[in-house]
């Protein structure tokens, strides 16, 4: 990467009272969050239902280690940007790494998977802290508009997070995992191009991508009123934001001074000027020690590989230019992160060491400080602990709650329920959806694995059908493949060993030699049209006779993909964020606004109530173990209102109460605590891991066998969250006194 990075010259023009550059950064961050949350919505499903076929415990461990490292690396990325790169270079480097990671996720290879996550971890470390820093750099010191500017920026984060499950999650679950990850790649590249392009091209990119994205959100669900009720408002919000941004950028873009390296000449200097050739004997000794450790003390271990990589980089460091050292260090960090993801226990140990070291350092500093500083640090440490608990529970959304939604929640919208009067009637063309879960249909008692297999075979059948096949012929092929699968599932002893599912290509070839109708085939030659037809058909059964076991099952309804429910949180934030801010302002004017400790306790209490709603859903489930979707939505809503009470005040509290001499250190420790929360979230999710039945290929048990596993863990989380909230509420008077809101930070100890 060139050291004389040139970016478009901006201006200091404003729109709606804010710098024009804010609206550019709004879209850059929105697309980055679109890519991140789009991949996250699919990650656990991809590990358990994709080619990896991992069990729940293994998938949750990797998920926890990944999200933990994602939150740990911004500490290093922010430090490198502050001291060396500047935030512009850091954002570009991070975006490139993340785009490469998303692209690598489209390849079904275990090594590629680990490297892809490692690229995302390292890229996020450079991107995440520095894009926010650039927003702050748009405003002069002490500007009263800074907070509202960050509020607008925060809305961009949640707009991207809301769009991603609706698009990436839906496409990945419906048409294939690589399509969803491919869209995440496009999203990241869009944000990166918007950032580096000149002002006019950025305007064009913002407008065209907003129109295309909004249109796709409607087109994918045309004819589905329920889904459009969710997608259309998000699409409209995207278009409104795009038009505002394009108008704002007409007056100028990102100011030229924002985000540049503090000392550009430092990039071309030696990385560590004080360590050079005079220490050659020392470095030779280090190389010898590394070789000894690797080949004698712990040969062929992953720890030895990490030591070799890091040690080799340290040995080379005194001879490297500063910019080269950053890029080479990043190249070393990628395989190290990949190894940590394959050995999640080692990742936990490293997080514990760094987190424990930071905690000891802050406690030691607090004991040496004057009374006001010391007591304020006590408040920071106590609230940091409760924040860690909150996020450890909250982050179940991407792991255990995601699987719970997939396996045990009634996601069929519309249609009608079969009643006892339908018993004995024949149903034509009954699509295999989540409504089958736990029920005996066509002689098969369906679990999640069987439903997924049926839908996959239907998709493969459509995509491999003859190019000139008509719609009716393709439908017939899907029916044929579906019935072959049903016959095989009902009689598991018949298939040959090693061939557990029918070959969709064989079913397709049965029709391939029959007469075709070229005049009808033109509309089905396009790949995307075939994918849409596959989505419509899934696996379709013919002539199904309704039995007693099917009473209560929904037919003629539409299935909502499980990943789409992850949009509930960001959409709720978009809807309630501003009203809640207005409520706090209203209370503050009357001196009734709750203090920081009480807001934290309200967040924990609502989080506990949300998991209580999940638990109530499991206690009122159907006889087949299916939970009403209303309980899921209530839980998500409570989690989000809890987040709005706790999250916005956390960072503000750190900057307000930390001693001026160590604000950055405490902020780094805050992010490390969040990283540990995510690792802990993975361990908690492992408690919900269900025992996979069958040999060879993992098979998810019936919903009735999993619903109470989830329910028991959710109940324990509900109790822990509620008790934590009550305890913090009791402590709040002491914490308020220790905050010393009316005293300066350097008040002497009396």
pLDDT (tens digit, 9 = 90+) per residue, 414-470? 889 999 999 999 998 888 999 999 999 988 899 988 898 888 888 888 888 887 888
pLDDT cut 70: percent of the chain above it: 85
Mean pLDDT of 482-510: 57
Higher confidence at residue 311 or residue 704? 704
Alpha-carbon span 366 to 428, nearest angstrom: 72
**118: pLDDT strictly greater than 50:** yes
Q: Sort strands 544-545 and 426-427 into parallel, antiparallel or unpaired.
A: antiparallel
Burial class (CB in 10 A: 0-12, 13-18, 19+), 586: exposed
- CA 315, distance to chain mean position in Å, is 36
Position 290 scores a pLDDT of: 64
- 218-222, 301-305, 443-447, range with the lowest pLDDT: 301-305
Domains of the chain: 13-265 (1.20.1250.20), 278-343 (no CATH), 368-411+562-750 (1.20.1250.20), 415-559 (no CATH)
Mean pLDDT value of segment 331-337: 91
Q: Is pLDDT above 90 for 387?
A: yes
Give the per-residue pLDDT at 526: 67
Q: Average the pLDDT over 158-176 and give the result.
A: 91
* Cβ atoms of residues 674 and 651 within 8 Å: no
Check residue 431 and report its DSSP letter. Answer: E
What is the rounded CA–CA span in Å between residue 718 and residue 630?
A: 18
With 70 as the cut, is the pLDDT of residue 664 above it?
Answer: no
Q: Are 59 and 690 in contact (CB under 8 A)?
A: no
Say if residue 394's pLDDT is above 90: yes
Q: Which two tokens stand for residue 124?
A: 């996020």
The whole model's pTM is what? 0.86
pLDDT attached to residue 285: 72
Residue pair 455/531 in contact (Cβ under 8 Å)? The answer is no
The whole-number pLDDT of residue 493 equals 45
Average pLDDT for 365-384: 87
Q: What angle do CA 263, 268, 269 make, to 5 degrees?
A: 85
Task: pLDDT band for 494, please (50, 70, 90 cuts).
Answer: very low
Determine the pLDDT at residue 491: 65
Question: 526 in the Ramachandran plot: left (φ > 0), alpha (ψ -120 to 50) or beta?
Answer: beta
Segment 298-314 mean pLDDT: 69
pLDDT value at residue 299: 53
Sign of the torsion formed by the C-alpha atoms of 447, 452, 453 and 459 = positive
Which residues have a Cβ under 8 Å from the Cβ of 87 and sit 6 or more positions away? 81, 130, 131, 133, 134, 137, 258, 259
- Whole-number pLDDT of residue 15: 66
Under the banding of pLDDT at 50, 70 and 90, the label for residue 611 is very high
Q: Is 280 exposed, middle or buried (0-12, 13-18, 19+ CB in 10 A)?
A: exposed
Looking at residue 301, what is its pLDDT? 66
| CA gap 609, 747 in Å, rounded | 41
Q: What is the pLDDT of residue 523?
A: 54
Q: Is the pLDDT of residue 492 over 60?
A: no
> With bands split at pLDDT 50, 70 and 90, how would you rate the model's confidence at 672?
confident
Q: Which of these, 93, 72, 71, 70, lies nearest to 81 by C-alpha position?
A: 93
- Intra-chain end-to-end CA distance of the chain, in Å: 55
* CB burial string 725-738: b at 16+ within 10 A, e below: beebbebbeebeeb
- Confidence bin at 314 (pLDDT 50/70/90): confident
Residue 665 or 673, more confident: 673
Q: Is the pLDDT of residue 627 over 90?
A: yes
Question: Where residue 504 falls among pLDDT bands split at 50, 70, 90?
Answer: very low
Query: Quick check: 295 pLDDT over 50?
Result: yes
pLDDT at 620 over 50: yes
What does the pLDDT read at residue 609? 97
pLDDT in tens, 64-101: 999 999 988 887 888 888 888 888 999 999 999 999 99
Mean pLDDT of the chain: 83
The answer to whether the beta carbons of residues 616 and 645 sit under 8 Å apart is no
* Alpha carbon 23 to chain centroid, angstroms: 23
Residues in CB range of 681: below 8 A, 6 or more apart: 64, 67, 391, 392, 393, 394, 395, 396, 399
Q: Which of 299-308, 576-585, 657-666, 713-722 has the lowest mean pLDDT?
A: 299-308
In this prediction, residue 149 carries a pLDDT of: 81
Structural tokens at position 707: 């619903």
Q: What is the pLDDT of residue 168?
A: 92
Q: What is the pLDDT of residue 507?
A: 41
State mean pLDDT over 168-189: 91
Q: What is the DSSP letter of 262?
A: S
Q: Given a cut of 60, is residue 23 above it in pLDDT?
A: yes
């Amino acid at each position: 990467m060139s050291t004389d990075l040139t970016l478009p010259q901006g201006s200091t023009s404003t729109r709606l009272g804010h710098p024009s550059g804010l609206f550019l950064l709004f879209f850059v961050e929105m697309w980055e969050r679109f890519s991140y949350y789009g991949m996250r919505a699919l990650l656990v499903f991809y590990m358990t239902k994709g080619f990896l076929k991992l069990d729940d415990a293994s998938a949750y461990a990797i998920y926890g280690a990944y999200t933990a490292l994602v939150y740990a690396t911004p500490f290093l990325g922010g430090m490198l940007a502050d001291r060396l790169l500047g935030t512009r270079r850091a954002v570009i480097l991070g975006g490139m790494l993340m785009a490469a990671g998303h692209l690598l996720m489209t390849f079904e290879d275990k090594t590629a998977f680990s490297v892809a996550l490692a690229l995302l971890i390292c890229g996020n470390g450079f991107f995440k802290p520095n894009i926010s820093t650039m927003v702050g750099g748009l405003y002069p010191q002490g500007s009263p508009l800074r907070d509202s500017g960050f509020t607008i920026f925060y809305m961009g984060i949640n707009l991207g997070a809301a769009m991603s499950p609706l698009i990436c999650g839906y496409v990945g679950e419906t048409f294939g995992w690589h399509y969803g990850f491919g869209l995440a790649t496009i999203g990241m590249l869009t944000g990166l191009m918007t950032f580096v392009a000149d002002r006019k091209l950025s305007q064009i990119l913002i407008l065209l991508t907003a129109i295309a994205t909004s249109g796709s959100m409607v087109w994918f669900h045309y004819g589905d009123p329920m889904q459009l009720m969710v997608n259309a408002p998000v699409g409209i919000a995207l278009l409104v934001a795009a038009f505002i941004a394009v108008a704002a950028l007409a007056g100028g873009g990102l100011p030229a001074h924002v985000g540049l390296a503090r000392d550009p000449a430092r990039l071309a200097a030696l990385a560590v000027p004080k360590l050079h050739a005079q220490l050659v004997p020392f470095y030779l000794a280090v190389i010898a020690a590394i070789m000894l450790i690797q080949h004698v003390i712990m040969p062929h271990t992953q720890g030895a590989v990490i030591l070799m990589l890091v040690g080799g980089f340290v040995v080379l460091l005194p001879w490297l230019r500063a910019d080269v050292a950053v890029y080479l260090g990043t190249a070393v960090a990628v395989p190290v992160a990949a190894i940590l993801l394959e050995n999640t226990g080692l990742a936990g140990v490293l997080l514990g060491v760094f987190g424990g070291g930071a905690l000891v350092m802050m406690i030691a500093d607090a004991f040496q400080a004057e009374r006001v500083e010391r007591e304020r640090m006590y408040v920071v440490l106590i609230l940091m602990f409760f924040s860690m608990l909150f996020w450890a529970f909250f982050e179940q959304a991407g792991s255990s709650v995601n699987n719970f939604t997939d396996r045990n929640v009634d996601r069929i919208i519309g249609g009608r329920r079969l009643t006892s009067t339908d018993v004995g009637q024949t149903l034509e063309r009954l699509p295999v959806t989540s409504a089958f879960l736990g029920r005996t249909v066509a002689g098969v008692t369906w679990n999640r694995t069987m439903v997924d297999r049926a839908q996959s075979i239907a998709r493969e059948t459509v995509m491999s059908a003859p190019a000139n096949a008509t719609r009716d012929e393709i439908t017939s092929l899907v029916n044929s493949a579906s019935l072959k699968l049903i016959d095989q599932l009902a009689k598991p002893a018949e298939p040959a060993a090693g061939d557990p599912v029918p070959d969709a290509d064989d079913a397709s070839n049965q029709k391939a030699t029959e007469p075709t109708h070229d005049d009808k085939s033109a509309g089905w030659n396009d790949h995307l049209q075939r994918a849409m037809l596959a989505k419509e058909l899934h696996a379709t059964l013919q002539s199904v006779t309704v039995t007693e076991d099917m009473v209560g099952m929904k037919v003629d309804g539409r299935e909502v993909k499980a990943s789409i429910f992850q949009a509930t949180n960001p959409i709720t934030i978009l809807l309630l964020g501003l009203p809640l801010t207005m409520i706090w302002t209203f209370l503050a004017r009357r001196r009734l606004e709750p203090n920081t400790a009480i807001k934290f306790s309200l967040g924990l209490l609502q989080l506990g109530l949300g998991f209580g709603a999940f638990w109530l859903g499991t206690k009122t489930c159907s006889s087949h173990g299916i939970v009403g979707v209303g309980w899921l939505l209530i839980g998500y809503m409570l989690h989000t209102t809890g987040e709005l009470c706790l999250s916005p005040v956390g960072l503000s509290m750190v900057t307000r109460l930390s001693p001026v001499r160590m604000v950055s250190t405490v902020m780094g420790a805050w992010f490390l605590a969040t990283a540990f929360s995510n690792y802990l979230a993975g361990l908690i999710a492992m408690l919900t891991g269900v025992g996979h039945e069958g040999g060879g290929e993992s098979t998810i048990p019936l919903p009735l066998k999993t619903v109470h596993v989830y329910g028991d863990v959710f109940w324990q989380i509900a109790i822990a969250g509620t008790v934590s909230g009550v305890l913090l509420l009791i402590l709040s008077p002491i914490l308020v006194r220790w905050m010393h809101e009316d005293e300066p930070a350097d008040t002497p100890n009396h």
